[in-house]
Amino acid sequence: MADIALDSRAARRPVRDASAWDRLKVNRDWLAVWFMLPAMAFLILFLAYPLGLGIWISFTDAKIGRPGEYIGFENYEWLWEDSIFWLSVFNTLLYTFVASAIKFAVGLYLALLLNENMPFKAILRALVLIPFIVPTVLSALAFWWIFDAQFSIISWSLRHLDLITENINFLGDVNWARGCVIFANIWRGVPFVAITLLAGLQTVQPSLYEAATIDGATKWQMFRHITYPLLTPIIAVVMTFSVLFTFTDFQLIWAMTRGGPVNATHLMATLSYQRAIIAGQLGEGAAISSAMIPFLLAAIMVSWFGLQRRKWQHGEAND
């Protein structure tokens, strides 16, 4: 900065003609580039480099402790034939789709509820955040215990109510296990959706609801014709993030099931970790991770179109 200020003073001095470099240093359009440089350096160092490295490794036969050599698409060809890989793709899509949809529905419902006037509003809002605050591994361990084959509190309660005769094998049965990890993910993800949507709800002018009341709208019509359309930009943001986080989820699964039983809950992220770090096949693991990129890009594209400023958002502000 000091550099720029000094040089602009120097440039005004007619003693010597400013060189192209001098002019570049004070040019208004280039100024932006100078200011962005530090941020760009960080992004390149901490985001682009690891990403590039990961993709590069996926084209090698690197193992832990051995750099590996370029082998082209061989890792991907292997994966194409690998039924476990395809199972993990299916699991990831199922996990992401079901969990995100339910998180959206429950989150929106909670946000609408918390936006109403009611006693202890502040406390209730804080309570909703709890699942979000607890460290993932801790809550995963809690769920692991809750869903334990022998000591599950759910099984215990149901048995005492005479609803079942044997413990449910929550994490040992394919469908139960999938249901349980999805449930845990929803439990963790709902606060984020609910609180963000609540913030969005609070930006809607109260007088719009009054106008709608006078126009004769019922509660449902107000939601349908005013709240929901005004909330769509925020919904697009929050659901993009929710989908990205869910798709790349690792901790919950690893702490609860490690991908079992028989790979029924293996997500692409957990499979990649297992192949790369546990089994030491870095190249193959990197290929699995890289295979997530097209899916993530697709999700981002969808939200990109969802996020575009709607026509009604153009122009001067309304107030």
Give the integer Cα–Cα distance in Å for 295 and 260. 23
CB of 219 to other proteins, least distance (A): 12
Number of Cβ atoms within 10 Å of the Cβ of 316:
5
Window 118-137: contact mask with other proteins (x via CB under 8 A):
--------------------
Give the integer Cα–Cα distance in Å for 177 and 56. 35
CB of 212 to other proteins, least distance (A): 8
DSSP state of 204: S
CB of 257 to other proteins, least distance (A): 44
Q: Closer to other proteins at the Cβ: 29 or 316?
A: 316
Tell me how far CA of residue 312 lies from CA of 203, 205, 230, 307, 309, in angstroms. 16, 16, 10, 13, 8
Query: What phi and psi values does residue 63 have, to the nearest 5 degrees?
Result: -125, 165
Window 253-292: contact mask with other proteins (x via CB under 8 A):
----------------------------------------
CB of 226 to other proteins, least distance (A): 6
First to last CA, the chain: 38
State yes or no: residue 244 binds other proteins (CB under 8 A): no
Query: What phi and psi values does residue 147 have, to the nearest 5 degrees?
Result: -100, 15
* Contact indicator for 115, 202 with CB cutoff of 8 Å: yes
Binders of other proteins among 180-239, rule CB under 8 A? Answer: 205, 207-208, 210-217, 221, 225-226, 229-230
CB of 307 to other proteins, least distance (A): 15
Query: What phi and psi values does residue 34 have, to the nearest 5 degrees?
Result: -60, -45
Of residues 21, 120, 305, 312, which one binds other proteins by CB under 8 A?
312
Q: Closer to other proteins at the Cβ: 23 or 310?
A: 310
Query: By rule CB under 8 A, what count of residues binds other proteins?
Result: 26
Chain positions contacting other proteins, by CB under 8 A: 205, 207-208, 210-217, 221, 225-226, 229-230, 310-319
